[in-house]
Amino acid sequence: MKKITTLIAGILLWGAVKAQDPHFSQFFASPLTLNPALTGKFDGMWRLTANHRNQWLAIDRAFVTTSFSFDMPILKNSIPEGDVFGIGVSGLNDASSSGILNQNYLSLSTSYHRALDENRFNTIGVGFQGTYSSVNLKTEKLFFEDQLGASGWTGVSQENIGNNAIIANVKPYFDFNAGVLFSGSTNGVNNYYAGISLYHINRPSVQLRERDAWKLTNRLTFQAGGSFSLSDNIGLNVSAIHQVQNKASETILGGNLSFYAGGSEDRPTNVYAGSWYRLNDAIIPFIGLEFGSTRIGISRDITVSNLKDAVNQGNAPFQDGFEFSIIFIKQPEQSKGIPCPRY
């Protein structure tokens, strides 16, 4: 059964790799994969983030995605007060079908945000990102129809020979992304934002077969959200994303409530609870904890579409998908409390 699953997954990955980029349900906790304009856009000295997603556990690690990023504002004393000049680096590994297909991305990004008013509550910014990508296909783990005989999976597949041979190590390619972000506040405490980002602007070529090359299609992403105080101890955080690539599209919207659990005004301890919804696919319950400069988030994808019977086999927890995020922001001794996007 495992080999049959591997065969099916191996066939499916050919189409999946062409259709949609790796993505996170906690998109709001992965700023540099959401919009390059979010680089350096936070209240602090530097920011470190990490994300891990394991999707469809019942299908033997169908998609496992892990990312990290580090970014910071620079030249604070050389640019106008209220402006933000950010730089950052990020990496991502996306392993499909039990690691048969591995895609690796290493990105450098920068952004500049210009204050629009005297209070520096509202800013408009633009960001750019360059990415080096490599793809590795473990052909020895692929199984094809012509290998199935009376004694099981035997022999060497003819898919691996000839003029249409499978390429194990795909030639690396360079990618270019960009984005625009507006961030605003009415009182310096609340915050709302809206942005648009475009990935694969140069449309690099990728191929897994010698005669089967294709150009990556653009991914257009719209994002928006806000953080608002409902009382002295309760806050509301909402966010939404809509992205389109090739013939695939995704829309996620939702939010959470934050509950103050102690600590100082500058270093509070907050508990988060809420949910997002991916249209026509899954409910995404979320819990989080903020203490000092660290925020941790855990979510699960609960499939509600027609795929639910296929992905919820067995009794293991989080069959649909599990996701973990952590953000650490190094704060100076005295923070100005500049309103910035957050969850």
Q: Give the pLDDT of residue 79.
A: 95
Residue 221 pLDDT more than 70? Answer: yes
Q: Is 167 helix (H, G, I), strand (E, B) or coil?
A: coil
Average pLDDT over residues 136-142: 71
Of 146 and 137, more confident: 137
Residue 19 pLDDT more than 60? Answer: no
Q: What average pLDDT is seen over the chain?
A: 83
Average pLDDT over residues 204-208: 80
pLDDT tens-digit series, residues 152-165:
666 666 655 444 55
Residue 90 pLDDT more than 90? Answer: yes
Distance CA 22, CA 34 (A): 11
Domain boundaries, the chain: 2-330
Residue 146 pLDDT more than 60? Answer: yes
- Poorest-pLDDT segment among 91-100, 157-166, 181-190: 157-166
pTM of the model: 0.84
Position 337 confidence tier, pLDDT thresholds 50, 70, 90: low
Of 317 and 270, more confident: 270
Distance CA 258, CA 230 (A): 10
Residue 7 pLDDT more than 60? Answer: no
Q: Nearest 5°: phi and psi at 45?
A: -90, -45
Q: Nearest 5°: phi and psi at 8?
A: -60, -45
- Poorest-pLDDT segment among 35-39, 132-136, 172-176: 132-136
Query: b/e per residue, 282-295, with b = 16+ CB within 10 A?
Result: bebebebebeeeeb
Q: Give the pLDDT of residue 206.
A: 81
Q: Give the pLDDT of residue 167.
A: 61
Cα three-residue angle 277-279-284, rounded to 5 degrees: 25
Residue 295 pLDDT more than 90? Answer: yes
- Poorest-pLDDT segment among 25-39, 188-202, 296-310: 296-310
Full DSSP string of 264-281:
-SSSEEEEEEEEEEETTT
Q: Give the pLDDT of residue 304.
A: 86
Q: Give the pLDDT of residue 58.
A: 61
Residue 177 pLDDT more than 90? Answer: yes
Average pLDDT over residues 309-335: 72
- Which CATH architecture describes the domain 2-330? Beta Barrel (2.40)
pLDDT tens-digit series, residues 226-275:
999 999 899 999 999 999 998 889 999 999 999 999 887 777 899 999 99
- Poorest-pLDDT segment among 176-190, 206-220, 321-335: 206-220
Residue 41 pLDDT more than 90? Answer: yes
Distances (CA, A) of 251 to 217, 222, 295: 18, 9, 24
